[in-house]
Structure 1
Amino acid sequence: MATPAATKRLTKEYASISRHPPPYIIAHPSESNILEWHYILTGPPETPYEGGQYWGTLIFPPDYPFAPPAIRMHTPSGRFQPSTRLCLSISDFHPKSFNPAWEVSTILNGLLSFMTGEEMTTGSVRASEQERRLFAKRSRWWNSTGGGSKSPSSNTQYHNSKGIGAIKAGDGGAKFRVEWPELDEENEKWMKEKRINLANGMPLARSDARCAPDVAGLRRRPGSSATSVVHEGRVARDVGQSWLSRNKWRILLGTLFTYILVARMLGDGAASGTT
């Protein structure tokens, strides 16, 4: 249970961060426990996390601000192990280095700065830039579905089996839905618009591709034979061609035959005239 001093301090900080949220950061305390805060970091531009939606928790000790919070990020990012306590100078791993003057916004700015760097610590992981960009693209899906275990808007109840501050992958997005109902609704609309596969977070392959108009006549109709398809191909190929261009070889052969016939007739006439 929070001390009166911690409650007063965190209430003041919530009012401050709500009025003036830092860039790429939003946060609020849980309605049921002022010591449990939920944050969203939006991946900054020109980083592998660009556009990603990264959800995590800060669990403050009852004597805050004289001791730092436990920091976790639940959304897979390729930078941190999901739902794992992070060893940072601003976290509960280093209580002696924590400055009571630091606020929630200071802590989250520090987390965002560390995230976009490459320094390793307890709870961090290595991944390629391509992998981190893929995590960013799937982040909204992961938050609202719990990693594909349930569909959005399901009535799954959240049961925390790992202790306060930990989110079990596979909860169907229930905890995220409780803490971020507006964002969850936006995510659901986004997934429908982008035709996201709820099983893996990737766009569904389109199967309704239409033939181009110039080859539409070549499609095989149900029950048609190979001969009819060939015939339709010839018809489509001949459309727009003139009679002359279609019959030029016949005209050429006919002209040649006529020339030979006339030449032979003239030759026979000249021969008979000399006899």
Structure 2
Amino acid sequence: MATPAATKRLTKEYAAISRSPPPYIVAHPSERNILEWHYILTGPPETPYEGGQYWGTLMFPPDYPFAPPAIRMHTPSGRFQPSTRLCLSISDFHPKSFNPAWEVSTILTGLLSFMTSEEMTTGSVRASEHERKLFAQRTRWWNSTGGGSKQTTAHNSNTRGIGAIKAGDGGAKFRAEWPEIDEENTKWMKEKRINPQTGLPTPTQSQQQHCLPEVAGLGRRPGGSATGVGAVVQGGQVAREAGQGWLGRNKWRILFGTLFSYILVARMLGDGAVPSAG
């Protein structure tokens, strides 16, 4: 339970950040617990995160501002492990370095700055720029669907703890905290024809009709058992054979048969030759 001082301080900060939010940042406390804050960082232009919607939580201690919050980012980003406590100078990993003058806006601005850098710490991961751009394209879908699943099982022990979000909750927690943004995301997914289960665009009927048989062969699963890379390799073999005639598939047999016949005829002619005089 928050102390009266913490409640007063966080109430004041909520008013300030609502009135004048920092660039690319929005945040609010939970209606049930003023110590639990939810934020969304919008990926800044000219970064691999451009346009991404990154949702996370700040869990403040009861004696804030004399101790820092636990910081998590739930949305997969290619920068942080989802829903894992981050080790930053502004987080609960370093309580002695925290300055009571720092506010929520200061903490989130520092988090955004760290995110767009390449510095590594506990809870951060390495990924290519291309991978991070792909993550950015799927952030709205992930937030509003919980990753396309309605299961409630956590992925690993890193997601445990107060403020952690279980991936696969069907977007329930995000929807409860950000109903207006969730509605916008749902509308965006419909406009972009995003499959709610996969996060990928649904191909139109014309795109499906233009899929050639040879290309369709790449997606087949010969024998019903091949998956992944094996299915692609075997499917490619099916496609290649579909484009070859009998001559193409049996060229090696024809070649060896011709060579054997030539050797046999040569030996017969050699055996029937008249021997020369000595």
TM-score with structure 2 length normalisation?
Answer: 0.71
* 2:190 matches 1:196: no
User: d(CA) in 2 for partners of 1:134 and 1:38?
Assistant: 24
* 2:24 matches 1:24: yes
Assess, with a 3 A threshold, how the Cα gap between structure 1 residues 210 and 139 changes in structure 2: closer, same or farther.
closer
Question: Equivalent residue for 1:233?
Answer: none
* 2:19 matches 1:14: no
Code of the residue aligned with 1:90 in structure 2: it is I
Code of the residue aligned with 2:192 in structure 1: it is K
Question: Equivalent residue for 2:167?
Answer: 169
- Whether the 8 Å CA contact 2:153–2:168 is kept in 1: the answer is no
- Residue ranges of structure 1 left out of the alignment (5+ in a row): 151-155, 212-275
Question: Equivalent residue for 1:122?
Answer: 122
- Secondary structure, counterpart of 2:135 in structure 1: helix
- Secondary structure, counterpart of 2:190 in structure 1: helix
Matches within 5 A, 1:34-53: 34-53=34-53
Matches within 5 A, 1:162-241: 162-208=160-206
Assess, with a 3 A threshold, how the Cα gap between structure 1 residues 210 and 188 changes in structure 2: closer, same or farther.
closer
C-alpha displacement at 1:199, in angstroms? Answer: 1.6
Length, aligned pairs only: 205
- Secondary structure, counterpart of 2:54 in structure 1: strand
- Residue ranges of structure 2 left out of the alignment (5+ in a row): 210-278
Rg bigger for which structure? 1
Question: Equivalent residue for 1:257?
Answer: none
Q: Deviations over 1:236-256 (max 9, x none)?
A: xxxxxxxxxxxxxxxxxxxxx
Report the identity percentage. 84
Code of the residue aligned with 1:174 in structure 2: it is A
User: d(CA) in 1 for partners of 2:115 and 2:33?
Assistant: 27
User: d(CA) in 1 for partners of 2:153 and 2:181?
Assistant: 17
RMSD of aligned alpha carbons:
1.9
TM-score with structure 1 length normalisation?
Answer: 0.72
Question: Equivalent residue for 1:230?
Answer: none
C-alpha displacement at 1:158, in angstroms? Answer: 11
C-alpha displacement at 1:208, in angstroms? Answer: 2.7
Q: Deviations over 1:158-198 (max 9, x none)?
A: 99x93320000010000000000000000000000000011
